[in-house]
């Protein structure tokens, strides 16, 4: 008696697993069927809205807005803190020293700037001393008010791109996205989840900011371990 009931259970389980897999494949197909041109156009419209945005004080001092760049069908979205000196001048995220390290991390993961989406929790450069816009190192983290004012743009980008994984780079973006004050040391390397208003929940992997890794090389193995977890979640494990 035990044997048939066990095999029934097993076949039921198999059905369940196959059913889930089929459903996952179907939803992936729907993803592919999503009119990509529409997503790209909506992302471009968002960038245009950002370029004239005065939703917070950063709109008055920015040189160029930095809405974000990447593929409208990216499976991974990287979210940083905000534009710095170089980004403010180029209008692109992560083009300074930290960006160089992010590029190397992407390469090691078998990814590239054009296959992922890169954004920030605020789209304009927060200046520590706004009377010295040309000074280097004149950066500060965005304030809670600036984060709140800018949030709708990031949420919209997340809804449009609908990535499978979001990587939060550093404390500021992690705490902002996940609405927590827990220290990054406790959050990094552990899966979290975020659902933008009106969107489905997405897995979130917090890790250290590349700028922090440049200051302290001992953080590197943790970042790489976090990125390997991301690749595993995407079924994209790289030979080590």
Interacting residues toward ligand URA by CB under 6 A: 80-84, 87, 93-94, 96, 98-99, 120
Tell me: does residue 54 bind ligand SF4 (CB under 6 A).
yes
184 binds, among ligand URA, ligand SF4, none (CB under 5 to 8 A by kind): none
| Torsion 109-115-120-121 (CA) sign | negative
Residue 31: how many CB atoms within 10 A of its CB? Answer: 13
Q: How far is CA 231 from CA 2, 31, 195, in A?
A: 41, 19, 21
Question: Taking CB under 6 A as the rule, which mask of x and - marks residues 72-111 in contact with ligand SF4?
Answer: ----------------------------------------
Question: Of these, 55, 68, 72, 80, which contacts ligand SF4 (CB under 6 A)?
Answer: 55
- How far is the C-alpha of 25 from the C-alpha of 20, rounded, in Å? 9
Q: 43, 46, 47, 58: which one contacts ligand SF4 (CB under 6 A)?
A: 58
Q: Does 227 bind ligand SF4 (CB under 6 A)?
A: no
Based on CB atoms, which residue is closest to ligand URA, 3 or 216? 216
Q: How far is the CB of 118 from ligand URA (least distance, A)?
A: 7
Collapsing DSSP states into helix, strand and coil, what is residue 222? helix
CA quadruple 156, 114, 94, 222: dihedral sign: positive
Strands, DSSP E only, in the chain?
Answer: 69-70, 76-80, 117-120, 165-169, 192-194, 202-207
One character per residue 145-164, x = contact with ligand SF4 (rule: CB under 6 A): -x--xx--------------
- Can you tell me the distance from the alpha carbon of 122 to that of 201, in angstroms, rounded to the nearest whole number? 21
Which residues of the shown chain bind ligand SF4 in the complex (CB under 6 A)? Answer: 50, 53-56, 58-59, 65, 122-124, 146, 149-150
């Amino acid at each position: 008696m035990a044997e048939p009931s066990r095999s029934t259970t097993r076949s039921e389980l198999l059905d369940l697993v196959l059913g889930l897999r089929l459903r996952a494949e179907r939803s992936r197909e729907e993803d592919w069927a999503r009119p990509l041109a529409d997503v790209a156009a909506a992302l471009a419209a968002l960038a245009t809205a950002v370029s004239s945005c005065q939703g917070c004080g950063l709109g008055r001092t920015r040189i160029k807005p930095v809405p974000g760049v990447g593929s409208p069908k990216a499976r991974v979205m990287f979210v940083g803190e905000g534009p710095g000196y170089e980004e403010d001048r180029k209008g692109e995220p992560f083009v300074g020293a930290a960006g160089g390290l992010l590029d190397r991390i992407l390469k090691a993961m078998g990814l590239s700037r054009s296959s992922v989406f890169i954004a920030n929790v605020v789209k304009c450069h927060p200046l520590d001393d706004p009377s010295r816009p040309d000074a280097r190192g004149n950066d500060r983290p965005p304030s809670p008010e600036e984060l709140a004012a800018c949030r709708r743009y990031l949420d919209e980008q997340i809804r449009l791109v609908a990535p499978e994984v979001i990587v939060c780079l550093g404390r500021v973006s992690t705490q902002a996205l996940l609405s927590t004050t827990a220290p990054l040391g406790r959050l990094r390397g552990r899966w979290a989840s975020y659902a933008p208003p009106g969107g489905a929940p997405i897995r979130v992997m917090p890790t250290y900011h590349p700028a922090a890794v440049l200051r302290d090389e001992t953080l590197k193995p943790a970042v790489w371990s976090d990125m390997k977890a991301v690749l595993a979640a995407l079924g994209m494990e790289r030979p080590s």
